[in-house]
Amino acid sequence: MAESAVGVNWGTISLHRLKPSTVVDLLKDNKISKVKIFDTDPVVLRALIGSGIQVMVGVPNEMLASLSSSAAASDSWVRQNVTAYMGKGGVDIRYIAVGNEPFLTSYSGQFQSYVVPALLNLQQSLARVNLASYIKLVVPCNADAYESSLPSQGAFRPELMQIMTQIVSFLNSNGSPFVVNIYPFLSLYGNSDFPQDYAFFDGTTHAVTDGANVYTNAFDGNLDTLVAALTKLGYGQMPIVIGEVGWPTDGAIGANLTAARAFNQGLINRVLGNKGTPLRPGVPPADIYLFSLLDEGAKSILPGNFERHWGIFSFDGQAKYPLNLGLGNRLLKNARDVQYFPSRWCVANPSRDLSNVENHMQLACGMADCTTLNYGGSCNGIGAKGNISYAFNSYYQLQNQNVRSCNFNGLGMVTFLDPSVGECRFLVGVSETSSSSHPYSRLIFTVDTTNANCSTVDLSAFVASQHSKGQKPIQISYNSKYDTAQQEKENKKVEV
């Protein structure tokens, strides 16, 4: 049996996007040899050429319909997005993820009928270019695809039984693993009765007893629920890959550096220690892909403000906390040669009346990322004036420190003194962004404060409409006796 490996998800829905070549160097410096991306971004794939890193590329859900209905479309997709980058010294593409969690209950079956035909067409397309045995097709599923009150009783949702039988048979025939995304954090976030210690790996006072098996953490319980579901279909020995797993560091109660380090290190130690689970003792997942490599400040926050803070590195490639990936380095290594803008920030002008600042705050936070200001965030306690300064600076950095973007009708001013407070970091943007950086990053907006009907610019909604890459679902993962469907939580508004 091959040893388990730790890889990462590399998402790119960012406000401040590092050059892909810088990110590839970051991966190599940290000896990360497996990476999962959510599309086939040419800039990213070109950066991976000759890196030796094994890559899982993705077919977005929105493309499943065309790939399922046309062999020609499938051939074209493989030609443009796979064979164009492979060959000697090229990109080492090992997996193609066909859709991303296409069976989420929140999708109401929107993509369900396209998955199997797309798989079959893509398999034939790979065969026609002699890559069918080298590149494996997989279908990353959210853990809401199966359900049970106890792991041993796990089964796929009734409406998915037929299609899952087809998919699992296909995977087995072609030597592909079952890929699942597991998020104990979402279980904790979505259910106030969920025992906090059950989300981690240090033991619990709320163990789940399932016959002779005892579960002391949600990850094992979730994984064995899938094992039981696969067993019911006759594929109990199918290899399992964890496509996404991680813990956010900001934006919600329980999302912090200490918890993220405890979860990720505990997970890595458990998987690389080959402990397995009660239903698969000594057999850990084939691979795990941490979610995620970098923070993504432009992601939709519909699931929660934490959604922009999953990275083990901050947006600029700086390690957030000590983490041993088990790959040879005891600690994470930071990105090298990151080119920052000058050390200057935009803050509230202390000599001006700030009573009419609300519209400016709405604009700044609608365009930039202010999620750390919200309830549970690392900047939640910096006060009204601090909130204003944080919002102004976030917008100012997004606009590449354009002096006009710190005007706010005279309410803002540029300072050379770092206004960061404790754990609340006022960022300085990176000047290393590529041509595919955020589409609004160079637009300057001003607000007429006499217009009482000025509305928030919802940049995150715009971005979400353009991408279906790596977005956490509203559904949580594992329905244990402590676990219920995740409900959207209303975040407390920032007081200014």
Residue 205 covered by a domain: yes
Instruction: Quote the pLDDT of residue 470.
Output: 55
Nearest to 206 by CA among 489, 483, 486: 483
Greater pLDDT, 480 or 343 = 343
Instruction: Quote the pLDDT of residue 467.
Output: 39
Q: Which domain holds residue 295?
A: 5-308
Residue 490's pLDDT band (cuts 50, 70, 90): very low
d(CA 247, CA 263): 7
Instruction: Quote the pLDDT of residue 496.
Output: 26
d(CA 36, CA 22): 17
Residue of 147, 159, 244, 358 marked catalytic: 244
Bridge-based pairing state of the strands 54-59 and 208-210: unpaired
DSSP three-state, residue 109: coil
d(CA 286, CA 4): 5
Same domain as 41, residue 170 = yes
Same domain as 396, residue 282 = no
Average pLDDT over residues 280-295: 98
From the number of C-beta atoms within 10 Å of its C-beta (0-12, 13-18, 19+), residue 355 rates as exposed
- The encoded tokens of residue 383 equal 């006060």
Greater pLDDT, 488 or 423 = 423
- DSSP class per residue in 293-344: SB--TTS--SS-GGGG---SB-TTS-BSS----SSS-SS--PPSS--BPPS-
Residue 59 has pLDDT above 80, yes or no: yes
Residue 228 has pLDDT above 90, yes or no: yes
Instruction: Quote the pLDDT of residue 433.
Output: 52
Same domain as 291, residue 236 = yes
Same domain as 259, residue 408 = no
Our count of domains for the chain comes to: 2
Residue 193's pLDDT band (cuts 50, 70, 90): very high
Residue of 101, 296, 307, 432 marked catalytic: 101
Question: Residue 19 has what DSSP assignment?
Answer: P
Instruction: Quote the pLDDT of residue 218.
Output: 98
Residue 143 covered by a domain: yes
Residue 174 covered by a domain: yes
CATH number of residue 244's parent domain: 3.20.20.80
Instruction: Quote the pLDDT of residue 298.
Output: 97
Same domain as 138, residue 230 = yes
Distances (CA, A) of 400 to 322, 429, 456: 30, 7, 21
Average pLDDT over residues 127-136: 98
Residue 317 covered by a domain: no
Residue 7 has pLDDT above 60, yes or no: yes
Instruction: Quote the pLDDT of residue 18.
Output: 97
Greater pLDDT, 463 or 18 = 18
Instruction: Quote the pLDDT of residue 162.
Output: 98
Same domain as 450, residue 301 = no
Average pLDDT value over all residues in the chain: 90
pLDDT tens-place string over residues 412-448 = 999 999 999 999 999 999 986 543 444 444 444 444 4
Same domain as 349, residue 298 = no
Residue 360 covered by a domain: yes
Active site residue 490: no
Residue 171 covered by a domain: yes
Instruction: Quote the pLDDT of residue 471.
Output: 53
Active site residue 101: yes
- The encoded tokens of residue 107 equal 């999708």
Distances (CA, A) of 14 to 19, 285, 309: 12, 30, 11
Domain boundary among 308, 334, 360: 308
Domain boundary among 251, 283, 308: 308
Instruction: Quote the pLDDT of residue 4.
Output: 86
Same domain as 372, residue 256 = no
Greater pLDDT, 437 or 181 = 181
Q: What percent of the chain has pLDDT over 70?
A: 86
Same domain as 270, residue 375 = no
Instruction: Quote the pLDDT of residue 477.
Output: 31
Same domain as 152, residue 86 = yes
Domain boundary among 250, 285, 308: 308
What is the dihedral sign for C-alpha 40, 42, 47, 48? positive
Same domain as 293, residue 195 = yes
What is the dihedral sign for C-alpha 301, 304, 305, 311? negative
Instruction: Quote the pLDDT of residue 312.
Output: 99
Average pLDDT over residues 363-391: 97
Instruction: Quote the pLDDT of residue 2.
Output: 65
Residue 432 covered by a domain: yes
| End-to-end Cα distance, the chain | 58
Residue 108's pLDDT band (cuts 50, 70, 90): very high
Q: How many other C-beta atoms lie within 10 A of the C-beta of residue 278?
A: 18
Instruction: Quote the pLDDT of residue 465.
Output: 38
Residue 468 has pLDDT above 90, yes or no: no
Average pLDDT over residues 294-302: 97
Residue 58 covered by a domain: yes
Residue 3's pLDDT band (cuts 50, 70, 90): confident
Same domain as 223, residue 281 = yes
Nearest to 181 by CA among 69, 117, 102: 102
d(CA 166, CA 119): 10
